[in-house]
Structure 1
Amino acid sequence: DLAWIKQERQLITAMLEAHKPMLGACFGGQQIAKTIGAKILDAPHKEVGWAPVYLKDSTIPDLPEKLTALHWHEQMFEIPEDAKLLFSSDLVENQGFLLGDNVIGLQFHFEPEEDNVREIAINDVDYPLENNDLHQTGEEIIAHRVPEENQEVMFKLLDFITK
């Protein structure tokens, strides 16, 4: 049933028109990008596990140049027109964008806590094993600690788009 996707796009459009802050991670970032006209494509590499992302734009102050984030995707968004490339990884360039001063789309995840990571890996146990260019198993993903700085970075992103 695609009715919920249509409703989601209507909500995103309304939020954009009202200049409300939005942050979308993974599928959410893809839906924001698609709603504003960018394409969703197969990524050049399937990334499942922990890997660095690199800051590509300094508009948001005090973000580190490199962070370790959770990746769980094999698709990516194009960077929407008028948006800035915000983050890239070693394998997939389009990892994050900033549109104006109130919209951020991320292909990766900063938001999960350790319990969330465990649940994702347990409930989607086969996904990391199939053509994963990060070559991490679910057990390895669970064993990796969530970097403490990720919560601080998430707060900086949210503070920026809600100011």
Structure 2
Amino acid sequence: MSIAVVPGSFDPVTYGHLDIIVRATKAFDYVIVAVLNNRAKNPMFTVEERMHFLQETTSSYSNVQVDSFDGLLVDYMKQKNANVIVKGLRAISDFEYELQMAAINRKLAPTIETFFMMTNHQFSFLSSSIVKEVARYNPDEVSDLVPPNVLKELKERFNVKEP
């Protein structure tokens, strides 16, 4: 059985993230969406909130589990008996960073493979950072970039009243 892990901060989850997750559900038997608890960052949403967004948006996929972790990804994967890391790539700059991460993961855990998926072209510019920046001024501008549950929470965070 192939168990894939799609790791990320997901702060917040976007349709770009969901595109990679959904495609992974078709390629692997079981997919764990693992929310990274990175103490070095100051996220907008808590790990629990990010997990809740992901659980709501992936609930129709029977082979998806949402979880969280901190520490090294390969250690988490060993705990879960996972054998594949799935990473989405938007641009060359993503590849350079992810290639380094894949190389160190391969050194630390030679039996774990990394699979790269090119993002859908309509999401090639999309990042959680961009979503938060635009939403700060006008959350409605990101309505086609994030799931409705995330949009609702962005509006609440930025005190935008519904008409």
Structure 1 length normalisation: TM-score?
0.31
Q: Which has the higher helix share?
A: 2
The structure carrying a bigger strand percent of its residues is 1
TM-score scaled by length of structure 2: 0.31
